[in-house]
Amino acid sequence: MEPKLSSDLLRGHTDTIVLGSLMQTDRYGFEIYNRILERTGEAYELKETTLYSSYKRLEKEGYITSYWGDETRGARRKYYRITEKGRELYRQNILDWQFTQTILNDLLKGEE
């Protein structure tokens, strides 16, 4: 039997995925999209509309800020930067995920 990635299991974690992509450096929208594809070996693709909805929501709530890049070639890019509030949310979401994972692992273990 081949394992499959369930988008249902990942639903609700888009904001955390975006925040995690911004923990080390600012990134532009399409760069985040490509990074997700790369980090998952192209096993998981977030639709651009889902990502851009996440960017808007996170910015509105003060978890990220945005600014226009100063590209010398090509189209201008909108960059995103995580705020301290966003870093706190990311850390909390990771703790929540780890706790949820522990509970799920306990519940899904076969009876011994």
pLDDT at residue 57 greater than cutoff 80:
yes
**Structural Rg of the chain based on CA atoms:** 16
Burial class from Cβ neighbours inside 10 Å (0-12, 13-18, 19+) for residue 65 reads: middle
Residue 80, SS3 per DSSP: strand
pLDDT band at 17 (very low <50, low <70, confident <90, very high): very high
Q: What is the pLDDT of residue 31?
A: 95
Which of 29, 35, 28 minimizes the C-alpha distance to 50?
A: 29
Buried b or exposed e, range 23-38, using 16+ CB within 10 angstroms? eeeebbbeebbeebee
Read off the pLDDT band of 2 (50, 70, 90). confident
Structure tokens belonging to residue 104: 């799920």
pLDDT in tens, 83-112: 999 999 999 999 999 999 999 999 998 765
